[in-house]
Structure 1
């Protein structure tokens, strides 16, 4: 598939008639083009011919942006400048969403298209019938040679081209052939990936395919091989997939599920998650996308109709559990994929819940044990895939991965176990349990089951390592890793929430999403206008646009670790409170009760508190700012000493202060 519909030298373009050019565009278009689309191309060509005739360079129509599922109307490469052009034929106004659209195209090229990394890229919105034109060229503090979008009309576009080209006349000329065929290594958000999988069962076109992303494909392939092996040999197998934050564990699970959606062949899979906000956001994103796609095809689809089909793609784990609590038959699917398996409840929590909420007085299993027992009902074969995040248990009753291992050893020793070797790392707290399991079960250690490269922070693959070093109080290691991060992934420190808001707004470009995230225990940020007790709807927060006060963009509602786990922002403001404090004795956790902070003494709750900040500090794809308040010596709940040592610790590591 070509990544454009038409490419030619500017001279060749000007020498051809309009019909010939449109014919070439239509020939390379795999889909039927409408009459309106053909007329739009005709108008664009007629406008461009007299404007570009005095320049030398390359012109490209319908340049593909796979991650966004869109195409750029026109790309002009003149000397060393790439003009990314969005036409609005007949439009008299420069509408904001159109400006964001062309900016997003340019940002995608700058971030993921290799020849664009060092090129001067100028996004241009042409409202053909507008009376005004704005040619002031400016750049952000990113210093990446990407200009703020320019606005012009058809009459003044040539002047814009001349102004920009004269400004950059001393730089090396771009090789247009290499530019058009250059490698494209996108890193989609989980929302973008889920939409692509739901629509086509593929993510190949919108995800990286370089060596750094190789493990993503390797892991998916290995799990598929295990499924085939289990079916062929009538075996029951459980796999444990580990990965650093943002490595793509959920993406692996979704991809395996979509590859096994067909129930007619007897090896169908279901993707299950206990993360309510993640499921709600993904389901709503899929629903909105389906409604919008059908609208473009003149098909009227209501949200209710779309939602019914979407729910079969991704489900809440508790609905699955409750269904087979009543129905004692084997599940419809032979394969069950459990996302964030470390968050499953231990026996005490599950028994208490079943008695109080479900009227099950005789229930005597942990959640992992019951879930495995459901698949064990199959007489022939079954596969369970557990996607495991290290150090991410954040809720009371979340047992960690050892509960799954104990269940296998005690109740299902005949199951074959395929384990990522990283599961022995201390952050998973499962080393002893694995050693015990080896005595009774067939355990296979497979490096293919570990995702070692973060795909979330495409600008800094070692961000998760840096956060781990901070929380492990590995100061020297953190200082070294920070030096590797600085040029690509800005992390700054401040004591002023207003400075933080200004910084994050300036850094975000186009539709890049930003927001404030805080710990659910951050009870004393109210003087900063942050109240964690005000519930936030993650669907509105993550999906709604800038003009919606409920969206993250407004920087009014804040999300906690419970709303953001498994999801991501482009830019994050992490507001730190006195619930986690650095001291000579290490990290100290606190809970605000009544009118004062109380020291957290239980090891399990200490772990939850540390993990909450691990989640918050690994949400941003492109950069973050950490706000540690100065406190107030006149407020016994916000004394400066509650914050100062933490601030000094981050300074010692080397974070820049603004």
Structure 2
């Protein structure tokens, strides 16, 4: 009989006493991240609600030993009725403060092993006491029914590190976050995070909290300034409450509401996952499941898999074009298709990209997870190697029937390919060979607008249209905006808007692309429109700041390491970056080809896995297209500047490469379009101190951007 133990280290262990559990039982344990320890002969995992439930299910008995299990399972410090806070005496308040302190110390020691001892300062204890007294004083006039509602203190948002809103008020229909500040106003003392924090909690609940999403709860977020001089107001869409309006606002929120009947379910909710690409791959290959991304992506994925199934059953030749805004998850859909098509053990789909660094990073991630240096190569291949094998001689047939071509807008023309045909024509020819061998074939193109950055890639969609017209029995499936631009003969075009991904997932549904278009497009930049779009962004949790001082970046990095240790940040530059500008800001740095401060081939995997946080190297667009960071540091390095109230391209690298492109200005602009859409949580724009960049710096300040 299997038994389980909860250890003092907040771990849970299952011992099958020498008996190997069946595959279904192993899969259940793996689904909640239990791992096999061959040395000790047992399964182990982090102790939480999900792992405890599985342990009980597979063992069928109570724990052998349990060290304060309820403390770890709660996930919050206190749950108190408003009336109890109002009637509490000083001694009771001190007991509650002690409980808050003990809870936070437990959480901090769990989440960050570098923190030891007491993580709670005397000033924090004073803030808690101030919060209790403010609530007791201001809510004493609430009606009796409202006083029966419960407040939850220091609830840890599931799946996060150090994200604990001060107070939650729950009803059957609402989740209300109350963030207390002992200040006359938020954003004082050079702290720009107060409002962003309140917005972040609101967005997190709306996008990640499973019970909140499933029960369609309305989410509200307030900042509460307890200082006697505080004034009510509104900042970036967040209402500021004070002693003058706190009671009336709470009474209004609770009018007609019932106390939450499922509060325990809510408090033990799991997190819906929206990982970055590398985390998504880890989940797929380590845990055997496709992570939650969004309903938009789910619809697209299901539709693509349905089309593939139909093609194999009805002997079809399909070209499926998937497009969307930057950060919408085109690569995530593609990787999910590869995983689903190959999970039966056959290599039936392959992801192809000419982006060498992206291939390196994705293969590195899969190989790390699978502990097999060939696993990544089977699922993801470089276009260069694929072309060398299958473009000539024109007889070889890939093992896969589904070819996924990344960055379809960057397909090479015949001149660039130097084989007498274009890349799309070559892929169609391979598709014909696959069809002859297996009776069906599917090409999937991931199409991103405004992201052409290399020579020979400027023809865009026309190359695919030409290839379709040379292969009259292929069917193209695309969203309306792409389908309208493709002219093919006969009824060979299917319009399906599920193939368009309209929502950026990279930053928790925050879409920066509209602001980027208004801010950096050299043909029609409009400061007033850029201001308007930036103002919309300021009402989200996305924080974008500008600085000319690298030491400020280092200070912010230290704060991120302390407050969000799971975040990744790093420096990104244009492919046309000016070495002399970088040298002035960062003396001794060399960002040239294979320079000591430039990320090079075979370094991208480790860099994106954490080396980026060292801030000793910059990654060019060549390396970061298709990838993302929680907080990218985008360096404007003199190749794209504001001059005379307009954008201008310039510099040695730009002039050196001008003859390679049909429109060098658009290529440089596209570099910055890519750079400015890499952020998941925050972005820092670094503009070195050089006279030529003064107007560029002032442009962002005039837009309303805060200085870091």
The two structures have a TM-score, normalised by structure 2, of: 0.64
* C-alpha spacing 1:47/1:257, structure 2 compared with 1 (3 Å): closer
Deviation at 1:269, TM superposition (A): 1.9
User: In the alignment, is the contact (CA less than 8 A) between 1:417 and 1:441 conserved in 2?
Assistant: no
The answer on whether the counterparts of 2:560 and 2:567 sit within 8 Å (CA) in structure 1 is no
Q: Which residue of structure 1 aligns with residue 567 of structure 2?
A: 512
1:541 aligns with 607
1:467 corresponds to which residue? Answer: 516
Which residue of the partner structure matches residue 15 of structure 2?
A: none
Match in the other structure for 1:647: 697
> Does residue 571 of the first structure (1) align with residue 631 of the second (2)?
yes
1:199 and 2:249 matched:
no
2:148 counterpart residue number: none
Distance between the aligned counterparts of 1:30 and 1:322, measured in 2? 55
Return the TM-score normalized by structure 1: 0.68
Bigger shift: residues 559-568 or 494-503: 494-503
- Supply the distance in 1 between the matched residues of 2:108 and 2:478 (Cα, whole angstroms): 53
Name the structure 2 match of 1:133: none
1:295-306 correspondence runs (5 A) = 306=372
- The equivalent residue for 2:457 is 398
Closer, same or farther in 2 for the Cα pair 1:506/1:592, shift >3 Å? same
Mapping for residues 419-568 of structure 1, pairs under 5 Å: 419-423=478-482, 434-435=485-486, 437-439=487-489, 442-458=492-508, 461-472=510-521, 473-487=525-539, 488-507=541-560, 509-523=564-578, 524=580, 525-529=582-586, 530-533=589-592, 534=595, 535-536=598-599, 537-544=603-610, 551-568=611-628
Is 1:190 the counterpart of 2:277? The answer is yes
Q: 2:66 is paired with a residue of what secondary structure?
A: helix
**Using a 3 Å threshold, how does the CA distance of structure 1 residues 262 and 585 change in structure 2: closer, same or farther?**
same
Q: Distance in 1 between matches of 2:177 and 2:57?
A: 33
Q: Distance in 2 between the 1:388 and 1:317 partners?
A: 16
Please provide the CA RMSD for this pair: 4.7
Displacement of 1:540: 2.2
1:107 has 2:161 as partner? yes
Deviates more, 1:646-655 or 1:572-581: 646-655
Measure the CA separation in 1 of the matches of 2:116 and 2:423: 46
Would the alpha carbon gap of residues 98 and 454 (structure 1) be closer, same or farther in structure 2, given more than 3 Å must change?
farther
* Whole-angstrom CA distance in 2 between matches of 1:199 and 1:237: 31
2:399 matched to which residue of 1? 332
> Any conservation in 2 of the 1:342–1:389 contact (CA below 8 Å)?
yes
Residues 627-646 of structure 1: matches in 2 within 5 Å?
627-631=686-690, 640=691, 642-646=692-696
Question: Residue 504 of structure 1 contacts residue 572 of structure 1 at CA under 8 Å; is this kept in 2?
Answer: no
Matches of 1:348 and 1:609 in 2, distance apart? 21
Following superposition, the deviation at residue 264 of structure 1 comes to: 8.0
CA deviation string 1:407-454 (max 9, x = no partner): 424422321111222337xxxxxx7xx35x234662222211110101
How far did 1:332 drift? 1.9
2:469–2:488: 8 Å Cα contact kept in structure 1? no
1:42 corresponds to which of 61, 66, 88:
66
Secondary structure of 1:612 counterpart:
helix
1:78 to 1:613, Cα distance in 2 relative to 1, 3 A: same
The 8 Å contact of residues 242 and 422 in structure 1, kept in 2 or not, is answered as no
Comparing 383-392 with 440-449, which one deviates more in the overlay?
440-449
1:344 equivalent among 396, 400, 411: 411
Q: Is the contact made by 2:516 and 2:673 (CA closer than 8 Å) also made in structure 1?
A: yes
The Cα shift of 1:43 comes to 3.9
Could you say which residue in structure 2 is the equivalent of 1:216?
A: 297
Distance 1:386 1:27, change over 3 A: closer
Q: Does 1:617 align with 2:661?
A: no
- Taking the TM superposition and a 5 Å limit, the aligned residue runs for 1:314-325 are 314-324=380-390, 325=392
Identify the match of residue 359 of structure 2 among 275, 279, 283.
Answer: 279
Q: Which runs of 5+ in 1 are unaligned?
A: 7-20, 59-75, 122-138, 148-169, 292-305, 352-362, 425-430, 545-550, 632-639
Query: SS of the residue aligned with 2:668?
Result: helix
The alpha-carbon deviation at position 220 of structure 1 amounts to 0.9
CA pair 586-406 structure 1, distance change in 2 beyond 3 A:
farther
Q: How many residue pairs get matched?
A: 522
Matched residue, 1:358: none
Shift of 1:579: 0.6
Q: 2:420: which partner in 1?
A: 364
8 Å CA contact retained: 2:318, 2:477: yes
